[in-house]
């Protein structure tokens, strides 16, 4: 994993800019011996802003840039001229990025749309120049406001993959094979556990030119909610999927028990995941005849729509895509 280009967790330290000091300048012109106060305001310090960028799909660009500092505002000038504001710093992140306070773990903000901007740290306000303090009893104030200091804070940025359909199953359930069969994605496929070590996305085309995004999430094992296997590192990606496609191979010793284990792991991690729409695909069915498939139905969970598929032979893939599309339409109403 050390050489993986997929980075979905980084910790950064950010500091917004200090506001510039107001000026305590007095008007000085030829033939004007005692000009009044004309000190300008200080400029605002630079903000730290989180911005969604649909061209990004990982946080790797922040892996080696973990200290992010904005510019300070400039001080005010004479003639009531304000100082220049510090330049804002925009942190471009993939859609689905959540920013948390590194100390408390509390969610600060999240970005889910392209171009969406969320303030992480506002810059300090510039101080007022001395002309603001002129009054009938104080015609020549020799003081101005200092600039407001900026803020600094450590944040944890977590990426939660945004996809219409998330694939849920144990290692070697056929998730990567399905994604490669129904989309142009080419995830790594091999016959051993945890072949998939990072989420893969694919665009699945359905009838009438429609399409949806499918995410291959690394396999879950029993105890994943406690960090076993790849654990909670990738369970969070399931939170942003509209519907979940559970995948269990036809040669599983007990399909119903395996399904219940998967459901239990999701519930223990986040009970709200059980509110999502879900379907069940029985994979690797290319060697099954219709009679055997009919017999297997009595051993399946009764509370979920089930389809028998084979990503190798293409069995049931059109039916599966139609069911997923129909489910998405219901979920999005």
SS3 (DSSP) at 61: helix
Shared-domain flag, residues 305 and 263: yes
Shared-domain flag, residues 6 and 141: yes
Q: Which of 108, 141, 159 is the last residue of a domain?
A: 159
Shared-domain flag, residues 67 and 129: yes
pTM: 0.71
Q: For residue 282, give its domain range.
A: 163-331
Shared-domain flag, residues 40 and 178: no
| Phi, psi (deg, nearest 5) at residue 267 | -65, -40
DSSP-assigned beta bridge partners for residue 68: 14
Shared-domain flag, residues 83 and 153: yes
Shared-domain flag, residues 45 and 145: yes
Q: State the residue for tokens 């990072």.
A: 198
Domain holding 225: CATH number?
A: 3.40.50.300
Q: Which of 102, 127, 159 is the last residue of a domain?
A: 159
How crowded is the C-beta side of 83, counted as CA atoms within 13 Å? Answer: 31
Q: What is the pLDDT along the chain (333 residues), one digit of tens a residue?
A: 344 567 888 999 999 999 999 999 998 877 776 778 999 999 999 999 999 998 988 898 998 888 999 999 999 999 999 999 999 999 999 998 999 999 999 999 999 999 999 999 999 999 999 999 999 889 889 999 999 999 999 999 998 877 899 898 888 788 888 988 998 766 554 444 444 456 778 889 998 888 998 988 776 655 544 444 444 566 777 888 889 999 999 989 899 999 999 999 888 888 888 899 999 999 999 888 888 888 888 889 888 999 999 998 999 999 999 999 999 998 876
SS3 (DSSP) at 107: strand
Shared-domain flag, residues 84 and 195: no
CA distances from 331 to 164, 205, 278, 283 (A): 10, 18, 10, 24
Shared-domain flag, residues 91 and 180: no
Domain holding 113: CATH number?
A: 2.70.210.12
For the chain, the domain total comes to: 2
Q: Which of 96, 131, 159 is the last residue of a domain?
A: 159
């Amino acid at each position: 994993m050390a050489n993986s280009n997929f980075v979905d967790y980084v910790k950064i330290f950010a500091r917004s800019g200090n506001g510039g000091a107001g000026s305590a300048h007095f008007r000085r012109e030829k033939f004007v011996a005692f000009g009044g106060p004309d000190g300008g305001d200080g400029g605002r310090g630079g903000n730290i802003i989180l911005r969604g960028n649909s061209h990004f799909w990982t946080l790797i660009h922040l892996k080696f840039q973990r200290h992010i500092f904005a510019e300070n505002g400039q001080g005010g000038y004479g003639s009531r001229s304000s100082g220049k504001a510090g330049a804002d710093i925009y942190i471009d992140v993939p859609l689905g990025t959540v920013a948390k306070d590194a100390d408390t773990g509390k969610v600060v903000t999240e970005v889910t749309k392209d171009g969406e901007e969320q303030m992480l740290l506002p810059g300090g306000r510039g101080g007022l120049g001395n002309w603001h303090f002129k009054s009938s009893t104080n015609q020549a104030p020799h003081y101005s406001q200092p600039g407001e200091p900026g803020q600094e804070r450590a944040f944890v940025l977590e990426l939660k993959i945004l996809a219409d359909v998330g694939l849920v199953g144990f290692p070697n359930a056929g998730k990567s094979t399905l994604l490669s069969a129904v989309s142009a994605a080419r995830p790594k496929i091999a016959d051993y556990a945890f072949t998939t070590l990072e989420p893969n996305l694919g665009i699945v085309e359905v009838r009438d030119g429609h399409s949806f995004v499918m995410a291959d999430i690394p396999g879950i094992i029993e105890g994943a909610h406690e960090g076993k296997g790849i654990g909670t590192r990738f369970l969070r990606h399931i939170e942003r999927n509209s519907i979940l496609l559970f995948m269990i191979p036809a040669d599983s010793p007990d399909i119903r028990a395996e399904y219940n284990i998967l459901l239990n792991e999701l519930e223990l991690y986040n009970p709200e995941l059980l509110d999502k729409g879900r379907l069940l695909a029985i994979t690797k069915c290319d060697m099954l005849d219709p009679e055997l498939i009919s017999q297997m139905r009595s051993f399946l969970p009764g509370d979920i729509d089930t389809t028998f598929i084979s990503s190798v032979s293409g069995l049931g893939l059109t039916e599966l895509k139609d069911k997923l599309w129909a489910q998405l339409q219901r979920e999005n109403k």
